[in-house]
Structures are given as structure tokens and as C-alpha cells.
């Protein structure tokens, strides 16, 4: 017995080292699961509040460029609203009142938030926003800024949430080429924060360099038609039955500041139908 104790004491540093190493590896492995405890992320109370305080100082740095892009997007939106109003008024005259369902127009609700911590240098990037469960932010909601989509909420605490950035190698987004119905999948492959890839577009799809890529709307996360990027060129890939495009992302991920979280009022309904379908299979 004494020998065992002596042995343990003598090599104690190796035991301690092994224990810490195992704990570290455990943390490393649990990082991959989607459901994560909020305490293990930057959305926890302490780090969240520190980032929040700091962003009230550093938030002023990019104001000029953010203001410019907001103005541009505002002008475009006003233009769209004007055109749509005219179009609706014209179409209304051709339709019976009963055919118009106002609920569809109110399907998506937006919650505005500020980005308080952001990274673009990791292979799996996340950012933290200053809205949480108290404000109605739940995991799985889509996040957009004035230029296009930026991520999906991953963990939400009471006052902060952590968002999986579009710049995350594990994340895929359902997208299509604007004006067509060919669906593909958008991923980021590390490195340059302005370049993404759209994969699995069928070969017979027609496209042009400079076409806009938008969200497909085939999920409850993003409504249809939110810009994602612009096609730069086609990439050669091994699988000949699909196109892969290199895409310049519309959002500037190095200067994220104000974002909106998208809330789909049909989300629970659609998700429960999907799980019901799985159960039936």
C-alpha cells in the first residue's frame, strides 16, 4: 500500500497531466454536438457581459461604412416597397377578396440585435449577439444583416446568444440562383472571409457570371429570396453531374455590427409535421 502511494506521489504530475488532457479532449469532442450548454460558450453571463461592455466602445469604429451600406439597402427597399405596392394594387383588382391570405405576409418577424463579438479566422467561426431567450431568440433561427444572410442561432442564454457564422465549415445553407428554381447548398471552405461555394446545382441549370444567389426558402430558418452572394465562376469538381460555383458573399463578415434574427411563426408547426413524417417512416 505504501509503495502504491509513493508511486502515485512520485509520478503525480503525469496523473494530473493525463486528467487535464482527458478533460480538454472531452471539451474538444463535445464541441461538435449542436446542442451545447450555454455555459461553455461565449454567450454565458461573464464573457457575454464583457463583450457587451467592450462593444459599446469598439462599436463606433465601423459606423461610417455600416451607415453607407444601410442607406443603400434602405433606398433599395424603399424602391421595392413602392414597386410592390403598385403591383399589389394592380393584382388586387383582378382577384376576389377571398383569394388573398394576409397571414402569409406576416409569417416572418424580425428581432434586431448587435454583434458584440465576432471572429473570421477560425475554421468554425461563431459570433455573439446581445439578444437572448428574454427577447424571443431561440436556437435554429436565421440571422441576416442589411446585405444578406450571416448565420443561424446555435445557443441562446437569457440575454445573449451565440450564432454559427456562415463562415463555419460545418454549416450548409439551402440556396438557389435568383429567378430559377435550381436548389444548391452553400458552404464556406475556410480561408477568405468573402468567398463561399455553392454545390450540387444540377448540370442543366442555366446561369451567368454575376447572377445573384439567394436563399431557397425550403426551411423555416430563412424566408425565400434573401441575398447570399454573387456567382464569380464555376469550379471544376470530380462529380460531373453537378455544378459547383465560387460565390462572392454579399455580407462583410469582418465588419458585422447590426443584425436581425428571423422568427418564423409557422416554425413549430412545420417542424412537428417533419418529425411526424419521420415517425411514420
Partner 1 sequence: MDKNYVTNLLLQFVLILVQALVFNHIVLFDVAIAFVFIYIIIRLPMDMNTNWLLTWGFLAGVVMDLFSDTPGVNAVACTVLAMVKTPMLYAYVPRDDRTKNIYPSLASLGFSIYGKYLLSMTLIYCVLAFSLEYFNFADVKEISIMSASSAAFTFIILLSVDSLIASHREKRL
State the residues that interact with partner 1 by CB under 8 A.
12-13, 16-17, 20-21, 23-31, 40-42, 44, 46-47, 50-51, 54, 58, 117, 119, 121-124, 126, 128, 162, 190-192
Q: How far apart are CA 255 and CA 247, in angstroms?
A: 19
Q: In this complex, which beta carbon is closest to partner 1, that of residue 43 or of residue 198?
A: 43
Q: In this complex, which beta carbon is closest to partner 1, that of residue 33 or of residue 275?
A: 33
Q: In this complex, which beta carbon is closest to partner 1, that of residue 20 or of residue 218?
A: 20
Query: Looking at 23-160, which runs of residues are DSSP E strands?
Result: 108-118, 124-129, 142-144, 149-156
Burial of 232 (0-12, 13-18, 19+ CB in 10 A): middle
CA distances from 127 to 3, 85, 122, 133, 153 (A): 52, 36, 11, 16, 9
* Region of residue 240 (left: phi > 0; alpha: psi -120 to 50; beta: else): alpha
**Minimum distance, C-beta of residue 253 to partner 1, in the bound complex (Å):** 12
**Minimum distance, C-beta of residue 51 to partner 1, in the bound complex (Å):** 8
**Minimum distance, C-beta of residue 192 to partner 1, in the bound complex (Å):** 8
**Minimum distance, C-beta of residue 243 to partner 1, in the bound complex (Å):** 23
Q: In this complex, which beta carbon is closest to partner 1, that of residue 158 or of residue 268?
A: 158
Amino acid at each position: 500500500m505504501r509503495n502504491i502511494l509513493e508511486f502515485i506521489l512520485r509520478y503525480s504530475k503525469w496523473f494530473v497531466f493525463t486528467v487535464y488532457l482527458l478533460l480538454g479532449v472531452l471539451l474538444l469532442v463535445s464541441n461538435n454536438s449542436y446542442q451545447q450548454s450555454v455555459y461553455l460558450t461565449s454567450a454565458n453571463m461573464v464573457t457575454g457581459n464583457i463583450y457587451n461592455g467592450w462593444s459599446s466602445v469598439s462599436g463606433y469604429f465601423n459606423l461610417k461604412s455600416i451607415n453607407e451600406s444601410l442607406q443603400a439597402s434602405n433606398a433599395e427597399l424603399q424602391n421595392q416597397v413602392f414597386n410592390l405596392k403598385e403591383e399589389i394594387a394592380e393584382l388586387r383588382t383582378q382577384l376576389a377578396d377571398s383569394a388573398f391570405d394576409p397571414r402569409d405576409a406576416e409569417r416572418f418577424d424580425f428581432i434586431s440585435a448587435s454583434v458584440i463579438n465576432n471572429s473570421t479566422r477560425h475554421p468554425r467561426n461563431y459570433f455573439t449577439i446581445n439578444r437572448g431567450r428574454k427577447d424571443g431568440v431561440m436556437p435554429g433561427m436565421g440571422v441576416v444583416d442589411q446585405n444578406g444572410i450571416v448565420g443561424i442561432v446555435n445557443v441562446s442564454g437569457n440575454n445573449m446568444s451565440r450564432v454559427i457564422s456562415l463562415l463555419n465549415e460545418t454549416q450548409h445553407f439551402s440556396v438557389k440562383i435568383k429567378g430559377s428554381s435550381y436548389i444548391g447548398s452553400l458552404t464556406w471552405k475556410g480561408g477568405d472571409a468573402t468567398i463561399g461555394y455553392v454545390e450540387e446545382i444540377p448540370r442543366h441549370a442555366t446561369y451567368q457570371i454575376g447572377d445573384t444567389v439567394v436563399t431557397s426558402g425550403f426551411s423555416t430558418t430563412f424566408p425565400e429570396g434573401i441575398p447570399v452572394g454573387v456567382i464569380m465562376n464555376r469550379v471544376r469538381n470530380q462529380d460531373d453531374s453537378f455544378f459547383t460555383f465560387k460565390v462572392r458573399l454579399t455580407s462583410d463578415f469582418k465588419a458585422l455590427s447590426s443584425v436581425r434574427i428571423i422568427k418564423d411563426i409557422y416554425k413549430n408547426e412545420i417542424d412537428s409535421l417533419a418529425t411526424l413524417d419521420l415517425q411514420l417512416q
